[in-house]
Amino acid sequence: MGDGVVPGEFRGRMKRAIVLLSGGLDSAVTLYYAKNLGYKITCLSFDYSQRHQKEIKLAKRLAGLAGAAHIVLKVKFPARSSSLIDKKRRLPKRGLSKIKEAGIPSTYVPARNIIFLSYALCYAEVLSADSIFIGVNSVDYSGYPDCRPDFLKAFSRMSALGTRRGVTGRMVKIKTPLSRKSKGEIVKLGRRLKVPFKYTWSCYEGARYPCGACDSCRLRSRGFSEAGLDDPLSIKTDR
Amino acid sequence: MGDGVVPGEFRGRMKRAIVLLSGGLDSAVTLYYAKNLGYKITCLSFDYSQRHQKEIKLAKRLAGLAGAAHIVLKVKFPARSSSLIDKKRRLPKRGLSKIKEAGIPSTYVPARNIIFLSYALCYAEVLSADSIFIGVNSVDYSGYPDCRPDFLKAFSRMSALGTRRGVTGRMVKIKTPLSRKSKGEIVKLGRRLKVPFKYTWSCYEGARYPCGACDSCRLRSRGFSEAGLDDPLSIKTDR
């Protein structure tokens, strides 16, 4: 079939799950969390003209290491929708940015998680997966509205009403194992689950080393330091 | 910018709307309905490997005739997700099909309207549009769960919680002007709004003439006959 999708193949045999995998720290920990629960996993990654392709390559590697299937889907966001996409705009680097409208930083991509979760719902229906895992976090996060528990609850309710699985009572569950954890707790959980941190990428830029200054780098660094661990990415080897 | 999107350009001048335009009868009537209300309109159509490209070409034409901008987005559904996509599967042609699980026919594409509406939300945020128009109908319809009023209400609630506009109190409204109308009433409304019916396409197949037997042809035909009008597509010219 080319896209690795065989409808219902594993129905009744092994629990199946879709994992949204960006290639970042949180989604990698979420993948290993789902793996640890014994799910047969299909990971979805999105190529949405983000500033670099590094995280998609790493997502592929992470999925492979976890023994999961991996599908990359292209999504076209409007060019000027976010500083994460529009390379002419500057990324905020002056500390965790709460500077924009209603505390939402310029790296916010409109409806991004809504679109990603909608695709996940579609694949969950076709693959008869009963769960979607997403590594959102509402403690140490960037202030995106589509990461908050209230939003995710409303998304679940909407999906129960708008899909075949919902109508037939076999609703797809949206699972957010990291939702209430601090970054330090996420790193500790990742260590316990043996997540290969060196293959995760958090920096909004795709240089050889993380910039260390963007919101995402700052959050990651906070996590490793709270957990008392060294981030393998911050150890610069000689060039 | 290439994609016709200029963020916020018309804020404070003219109300903006996103119209989901498939090129079918209902979405064309919806487009003219929104036009009649004085909205500045951007239409979104989706190329999702449906059986034919005819409706996308007609959508482009309809948008042009209505003076609206038009954006076509590619969406990749799993190959075997629906008989509307998988050409190896047969389309149901034995009368309005209520034959499948929970009354949902094989032409159901998992999470299709959820994905389309999610993209519409994204573009509405970037364009500062305050409304999304979708031509769903829950009277004379095919039994898709993502056309029902309850689902659309839940989608609105989810979008209020998961987008910047929702958080800042300028929520995007989902408008469904055809929701409670019969097909006959839709055709009558279209005539009043001067919808160029000859540039709309309803048949699931993309032959020179509509097949006349699929669910979508049957519903269309019911509409024209209830409205006491001839469907311009059913008048076969000499070859």
pLDDT in tens, B155-168: 999 999 988 887 78
- The pLDDT-based confidence of A179 (bands split at 50, 70, 90) is very high
Using one digit for the tens of pLDDT, what is the confidence trace for A103-141? Answer: 677 778 889 999 999 999 999 999 999 999 999 988 766
What's the structural domain count of chain B?
A: 1
- The pLDDT-based confidence of B77 (bands split at 50, 70, 90) is confident
**Residues in Cβ contact with A169 at an 8 Å cutoff, skipping those fewer than 6 apart:** none
Burial A46-81 (b: 16+ CB within 10 A, else e): bebbbbeebbbebbbebbebbebbbbbbebbbbbbb
ipTM of the complex: 0.85
Is residue B239, in this structure, part of any structural domain at all? no
Length of chain A as a residue count: 239
- The range of the structural domain enclosing residue B203 comes to 16-234
Chain A positions touching B79 (Cβ under 8 A) are 1-3, 5
Return the CA Rg of chain B: 17
Tokens of B60: 């482009």
> B36 CA to chain A: closest CA distance, Å?
27
Is residue A237, in this structure, part of any structural domain at all? no
Q: In this structure, are residues A54 and A87 in contact, taking their beta carbons and an 8 Å threshold?
A: no
- The pLDDT-based confidence of B142 (bands split at 50, 70, 90) is low
Which among A149, A233, B17, A139 is positioned nearest to A157, based on CA atoms?
A: A149
DSSP bridge pairs for A174: A132
Using one digit for the tens of pLDDT, what is the confidence trace for B39-60? Answer: 999 999 999 877 678 889 999 9
- The pLDDT-based confidence of B29 (bands split at 50, 70, 90) is very high
Task: Judge whether A48 is closer than 8 Å to chain B, CB to CB.
Answer: no
Task: Kindly state the helix (H) or strand (E) to which residue B149 belongs, with its residue range.
Answer: helix B149-162
Terminal CA-to-CA distance of chain B, rounded, Å?
43
Is residue A84, in this structure, part of any structural domain at all? yes
Is residue A194, in this structure, part of any structural domain at all? yes
User: Are residues A167 and B126, on separate chains, in Cβ contact within 8 Å?
Assistant: no
Residue A160, CB half-sphere, CA atoms under 13 Å: how many? 13
Task: Judge whether A237 is closer than 8 Å to chain B, CB to CB.
Answer: no
The model's pTM: 0.87
B138 or A10, greater pLDDT: B138
Instruction: Tell me the residues of chain B between 60 and 79 that have a Cβ less than 8 Å away from chain A.
Output: 73-74, 76-79
Return the CA Rg of chain A: 17
B164 or A19, greater pLDDT: A19
- The pLDDT-based confidence of B95 (bands split at 50, 70, 90) is low
Amino acid symbol at B201: W
User: A92: domain CATH number?
Assistant: 3.40.50.620
Assess whether pLDDT exceeds 80 at residue B2: no
Is residue A62, in this structure, part of any structural domain at all? yes
Assess whether pLDDT exceeds 70 at residue B3: no
Is residue B226, in this structure, part of any structural domain at all? yes
Average pLDDT over residues B83-88: 69
Assess whether pLDDT exceeds 60 at residue A58: yes
- How much is the pLDDT for A205? 82
Assess whether pLDDT exceeds 60 at residue B10: no
Most confident of A54-58, A150-154, B91-95, B191-195: B191-195
Average pLDDT over residues B122-142: 88
Average pLDDT over residues A175-202: 95
Using one digit for the tens of pLDDT, what is the confidence trace for A21-38? Answer: 999 999 999 999 999 999
SS (H, E, C) chain A: CCCCCCCCCCCCCCCEEEEECCCCHHHHHHHHHHHHCCCEEEEEEEECCCCCCHHHHHHHHHHHHCCCEEEEEECCCCCCCCCCCCCCCCCCCCCCCCCCHHHCCCCCCCCHHHHHHHHHHHHHHHHCCCEEECCCCCCCCCCCHHHCHHHHHHHHHHHHHHCHHHHCCCCCEEECCCCCCCHHHHHHHHHHCCCCHHHCCCCCCCCCCCCCCCHHHHHHHHHHHHHCCCCHHHCCCCC
Q: Which of B6, B110, B159 sits opposite A125 (nearest CB)?
A: B110
Average pLDDT over residues A222-232: 94
Q: In this structure, are residues B83 and B111 in contact, taking their beta carbons and an 8 Å threshold?
A: no
How far is the CA of A101 from the CAs of A134, B120, B126, in angstroms?
A: 25, 21, 14
Is residue A11, in this structure, part of any structural domain at all? no
* Average pLDDT in chain A: 85
Is residue A159, in this structure, part of any structural domain at all? yes
Q: Which of A2, A73, A126 sits opposite B110 (nearest CB)?
A: A126
Assess whether pLDDT exceeds 90 at residue A86: no
